[in-house]
Structure 1
Amino acid sequence: NVPGEDQYRNKGVAYCPHCDGPLFKGKRVAVVGGGNSGVEAAIDLAGLVSHVTLLEFDDKLRADEVLQKKLRSLGNVTIITSALTQEVLGDGQKVTGLVYKDRIGGDAHRIELEGIFVQIGLLPNTEWLKGAVALSPRGEIVIDDRGQTSVPGVFAAGDCTTVPYKQIIIAMGAGSTAALSAFDHLIRTTVPKSSGAVAEAA
């Protein structure tokens, strides 16, 4: 939600390194976010692009140590902590850079680049399910390998669940799994006869 983000969405501002990373082969990119998602994205992109600058708001990365160690071993990655992203710059057609503020010194800095990957983490829109089904600490719907929630007969699928790897194709597969599981649940569940049932024809 910084100036320029909406204007340059899909014109250099991206949210999926797996999907859009190849579009930036040989170019300079930034990754915003130093958690597991951000560091994994930076590692992935470093194999494609000429240079990755990782920006983290906090004074240290929050990713797992093994991921941080891998990231720091890469020669074409710069890590900047205590960085507040302030503006996405562009020429009207595509991204040309990014402005961030050093949260400690207060100085503004400009980075020339062609792509920005936002990896600050997203919270699922599951507030309305609180108390109805079990949710993870991040608000994801807890499911098993069949898409079953904590409530018998209630199934869920997609990025709002605890399924790893938030990708469209994975959500589609999870939807199929949940639908088949729901069908299986229905055919195995005894349906009580309605008191107003129509008498069978002779």
Structure 2
Amino acid sequence: AVAVIGGGNSGIEAAIDLANIVEHVTVLEFADTLRADEVLIRKANSLNNITIIKNAQTTEVVGDGKRVTGLSYIDRISGDEKSLELAGIFVQIGLVPNTEWLKDSELALTRFGEIEIDSKGATSLPGVYAAGDATTTPFKQIIIAMGSGATASLGAFDYLIRHSDETQSTEDAA
């Protein structure tokens, strides 16, 4: 059995994915409602090996010194301390990109703060490329971010090749 901490889209998506490969998944959500899209919640509720616990404040990850063996949480309604025996814990408590420092820049950002990019990783500023979870690339996973980085680097390389004459003539004029 494993636990997913977080009831947003990333948490419920992770629970659905995990339900296909583990015996049981418990989702722990701090709030009294899930923030995930309704279609994801319906899918999770349709799987008999997913349990969703709301109003759960995770307080401790328990282990034997070599591996995770469980977690403790407080039921925020009753105040009772509870525990679960687990083989793994997946923390999925948000996908807010770390782009606050770009807020006043000329880069186009989504309402969520993601850097808007095209299929080559180009941003709204010519010659500026971005990659990874801070961008509009879907599926915030390490392997996706790695591929996004490769795409952005190739896009930047292509941009430099195509604009090297402009860069050279600007440097010569200076």
Mapping of residues 38-53 of structure 1, within 5 Å: 38-53=11-26
Aligned pair partner of 1:103 in 68, 76, 80: 76
**CA-CA distance at 1:187 after TM superposition:** 3.0
Q: Report whether the alignment pairs 1:169 with 2:140.
A: no
* Gapped regions of structure 2 (runs ≥ 5): none
Residue 60 of structure 1 deviates from its aligned partner by 1.1
Amino acid at match of 1:169: I
The one-letter amino acid of 1:70's match is K
Match of 1:53, as an amino acid?
A: T
CA root-mean-square deviation: 1.6
Instruction: Give the SS at the match of 1:110.
Output: strand
**TM-score, with structure 2 as normaliser:** 0.89
Residue in structure 2 matched with residue 11 of structure 1 by the alignment: none
SS at match of 1:39: helix
User: Which of 30, 41, 45 is the equivalent residue of 2:3?
Assistant: 30
Percent of matched pairs sharing the same residue? 65
**Residue matched to 1:158:** 132
Q: In 1, Cα distance between the equivalents of 2:100 and 2:82?
A: 38
Q: Determine whether 1:92 maps to 2:58.
A: no
Partner residue in 2 for 1:22? none
Cα distance in 2 for partners of 1:58, 1:188 equals 51
Structure 1 gap ranges (5+): 1-27, 197-202
* SS of aligned partner of 1:99: strand
Query: Over residues 19-45 of structure 1, what are the superposed CA-to-partner deviations in whole Å (9 max), with x where a residue is unaligned?
Result: xxxxxxxxx111101111111111111
Deviation by residue 1:61-105 (Cα, 9 ceiling, x = unmatched): 111111111111111111110111111111222111111111111
Partner of 2:118: 144
| Count of aligned positions | 169
Shift, 1:157, TM fit: 1.0
Deviations 1:132-186 (A, max 9, x none): 2122233221111111111111111112211011223322222222222222222
Q: 1:68 and 2:46 equivalent?
A: no
